[in-house]
Amino acid sequence: MAIARNIVNIAIAAAEKEGAKRITKVNVVAGELRGFIPAQLIFCFGLMAENTIASGAYLDLEITPVMGRCRKCEETFMVKDYRYVCPKCQGEDIQTVSGTELRVKDIEVE
Amino acid sequence: MKINVMTDILEANDRIAADNREVFDKHRNLVLNLMSSPGAGKTMLLEKAGEALKGKLRLGVIAGDIETARDSERLQKYKLPVVQLTTGSACHLDANMVASALPHLDLSKIDILVVENVGNLVCPAEFKVGEDYKVVMLSVTEGDEKPLKYPLIFRESALLLINKIDLLKYTNFNLKEAKANARRVNPDLDIIDISCTTGEGIPDWISWLNQRYQKKFGTKARA
């Protein structure tokens, strides 16, 4: 709920800065590790957007996969099922390079 | 028209968390963000810690609860400095709420400050409050698959406490499986089995606290 409110606030602030009257779409990037359930977030977003210039806007949620980088052999790979093991050298010292992001990418306005 | 935004959704919270952290560091507080499902045993863990740390490290608590002040009432019996935050409908504590509690605590008289989050495995993991470490607690009356269902909280935590270990024989909780699942999500996770009822594992949790305190401040805990 708080996340949805933040999304609406960020979108409105960006739209107002450009003098836009209405927000039609908000594109959000969320990492898989955030564990969001898209339907739930979209529902909360709809509630929070009511009676604002974002009312009725479409929320697009782009889920980015978890990517890891092996600290031993530098291989970058997609982490499936939270298996933090390097497919190349079997190293287990893995740095998460993506999958935790959470940001408003852009918005579409009228 | 398309407008580029690229704003981190939690940026405002993270900024306040960093301010809190500065205040904590100045007062030499080791700060833990303690999270679990409802009923896993967070409050009882703090009762036990308060007892075990008496005369050694001074414990303080910021307790988040949706409605009541029951947790803080329980802890006040142990003469611990406690501030209760009633979150209303919010299912987690955020940096701002924790900042609002700080004027009500004498931080210079606290060594370890535990922020007892609202019982929930999802949202609390998203919001930093200014902590040094996140600690997640799981009880054996829940499921051993929890780390895979709620990866972020296990990924972000430094320590997993598996509580109610005395009840293990009455459940189908697979301890080995739970640990394997947790380490799959976070290979660096420390794990301690405890029972707040029998006291098993509590000394290990206390020595974890001591180690982390010494790591942060480089001094021996006050004798």
Q: Provide ipTM, 2 decimals.
A: 0.84
Which CATH number does A2-64+98-109 carry?
3.30.2320.50
Question: Which run of H or E residues covers position A61?
Answer: strand A58-64
Taking the alpha carbons of A95, A99, A101, A107 in that order, is the dihedral positive or negative? positive
Look at residues A81, A27, A92, A96 and name the one whose alpha carbon lies nearest to residue A58: A27
* Complete edge-to-edge strand list for the sheet that includes strand A102-109: A58-64, A23-31, A102-109, B2-8
Report the residue of chain A nearest B185, measured CA to CA. A82
Domain boundaries, chain A: 2-64+98-109
Residue pair B213/B133 in contact (Cβ under 8 Å)? The answer is: no
What pairing do the DSSP bridges indicate for beta strands A102-109 and B2-8? antiparallel
Domain boundaries, chain B: 11-213
Question: Which run of H or E residues covers position B50?
Answer: helix B42-53
Please answer yes or no on whether A35 and B123 come within 8 Å at the CB atom: no
Written as one letter, the residue type at A52 is: T
Give B133-167 pLDDT, tens digit per residue.
Answer: 999 999 999 999 999 989 899 999 999 999 999 99
In 3-state terms, what secondary structure has residue A34? helix
* Chain B contact for A67 (CB, 8 A cutoff): no
Nearest to A33 among B9, B151, B187 (CB): B151
CA distance B36 to B33: 10
pLDDT at residue B74 tops 90: no
pLDDT at residue B223 tops 50: no
Question: What pTM value is reported for the model?
Answer: 0.88
Give A25's pLDDT tier (boundaries 50, 70, 90).
very high
- Provide the pLDDT for residue B220: 55
* Chain B contact for A103 (CB, 8 A cutoff): yes
B11-213: which CATH topology? Rossmann fold (3.40.50)
Residue pair B34/B42 in contact (Cβ under 8 Å)? The answer is: yes
- Provide the pLDDT for residue B123: 86
pLDDT at residue B174 tops 90: yes
Report the residue of chain A nearest B94, measured CA to CA. A2
